[in-house]
Amino acid sequence: MHEMMKLSTLQDVLANPGAVGKLIAELNPLMQEYESLQEVKGSSIPIRVDADAEFELSLRDVDTLCSLFVADQVTQSQLAYIADSIDLSEGVSYDGSPIADFIGEMTDPEINGVFTKDRAEEIRKEICIQP
C-alpha cells in the first residue's frame, strides 16, 4: 500500500492552516520519490492522491497555499506536489483563471520554472484577500 496525500487533509488545512502538520506528515513519505524523479529528465512522476473529498478551490485557498510557502511551513517541492494533486484530481474544482494559472505556476518546476517566495508574495498582492 503506497502512502498517499488525502484531499480531505488538504481541505482541512485550507480551512485551518494551523493543521498543516497533518498534511506534511502525509507528504513526507512521498517527497523522496517525487524529488528524486524530478532529477530524471523525462521521467513521469506519480502523484499519489486519495480523492476522499470534493471541494472547490477559491482564491482564498490559493492565498493560503502561498502563505504556507512564504512562512516555510511547506517546501517548494511539497507545494509543487500539492499543486499537481489539485491539478490532476477530479475531486478539486475551481472556476478557471486566475486560479488555474496560479496553481499551474506552483506545479513541477521542470515545466514552469522554480516557484519563488517573491512570486508567492506577488500572487498574494494580486489576490488581495482582506483578513
pLDDT in tens, 71-109: 999 999 999 999 999 999 999 999 877 999 999 999 977
Q: Which position has the grid cell 512562512? A: 71
Q: For all residues of the chain together, what is the average pLDDT?
A: 91
pLDDT in tens, 63-72: 999 999 999 9
Looking at the structure of the chain, the number of domains it has is 1
Burial (0-12, 13-18, 19+ Cβ within 10 Å), 82: buried
Query: What domain range includes position 119?
Result: 5-127
CB 115 within 8 A of CB 79: yes
Q: Compute how many other C-beta atoms are within 10 angstroms of the C-beta atom of residue 78.
A: 22
Whether this prediction's pTM lies above 0.95 is answered by no
